[in-house]
């Protein structure tokens, strides 16, 4: 019986590996807002679905690092679906506590930005098959808000 179970597992894993998967990339990371306790950044993730039907997106996991240290992470649930045979733009809000930004003084003092690495993992829910993880990474620089940004009135 164990041999049959192992054979089915092997067959199933080979089938999942050969399935065409959606492709994703982080297109941009920008400042979204400044609050009393945190700064919110917005990562834009473009996902191309090769299938003609929408695919449920189970969750989005993210990690934001600077100077090799994790400064924010989280999971977004109930994110909807990827539209069929096309691109879907996902918006991932990342809140970074102001106290964490203060610890990055060395990096910030040089050019008033944060060198970052953002890792976003999309968990695609393929019904009746399994969940498939699609990891994407982007490196870049995020400008910090100036005093004018902090006190700017919203229109």
Q: Is the pLDDT of residue 88 over 90?
A: yes
Identify the pLDDT of residue 68: 83
Structural domain contains residue 7: no
Q: Which domain holds residue 90?
A: 21-150
> What confidence category does residue 13 fall into, taking pLDDT thresholds of 50, 70 and 90?
low
Residue 113, C-beta contacts closer than 8 angstroms, at least 6 positions apart: 107, 141, 142, 143, 144
- For the record, the structure tokens of 17 come out as 């590996």
Structural domain contains residue 117: yes
Structural domain contains residue 40: yes
- For the record, the structure tokens of 37 come out as 């306790």
Structural domain contains residue 155: no
The fraction of the chain above a pLDDT of 70, given in percent, is 74
Q: What is the mean pLDDT of residues 88-108?
A: 83
Q: What is the mean pLDDT of residues 85-110?
A: 83
Q: Is the pLDDT of residue 31 over 70?
A: yes
Structural domain contains residue 15: no
Are 40 and 105 spatial neighbours (Cβ–Cβ below 8 Å)? no
pTM for this predicted structure: 0.77
CATH number for the domain spanning 31: value is: 2.60.40.1820
- CA–CA distance, 97 with 154 (Å, rounded to integer): 21
Q: Which residue has the higher pLDDT, 103 or 50?
A: 50
> How many domains are contained in the chain?
1
How does the average pLDDT of the chain come out, rounded? 82
- For the record, the structure tokens of 8 come out as 């089915």
Residues 41-73 have pLDDT tens digits of 999 999 999 989 898 898 999 999 987 889 999
Structural domain contains residue 84: yes
């Amino acid at each position: 019986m164990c041999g049959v179970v192992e054979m089915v597992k092997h067959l199933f894993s080979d089938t999942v590996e050969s399935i065409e998967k959606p492709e994703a990339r982080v297109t941009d990371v920008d400042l979204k807002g400044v609050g009393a306790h945190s700064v919110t950044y917005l990562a834009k993730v473009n996902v191309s679905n090769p299938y003609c039907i929408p695919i449920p997106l189970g969750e989005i996991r993210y990690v934001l690092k600077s100077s090799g240290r994790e400064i924010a992470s989280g999971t977004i649930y109930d994110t909807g679906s990827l539209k069929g045979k096309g691109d879907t733009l996902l918006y991932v809000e990342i809140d970074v506590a102001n106290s964490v930004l203060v610890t990055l003084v060395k990096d910030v003092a040089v050019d008033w930005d944060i060198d970052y690495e953002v890792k976003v993992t999309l968990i695609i829910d393929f019904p009746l098959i399994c969940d498939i993880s699609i990891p994407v990474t982007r490196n870049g620089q995020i400008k910090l808000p100036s005093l004018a940004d902090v006190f700017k009135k919203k229109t």
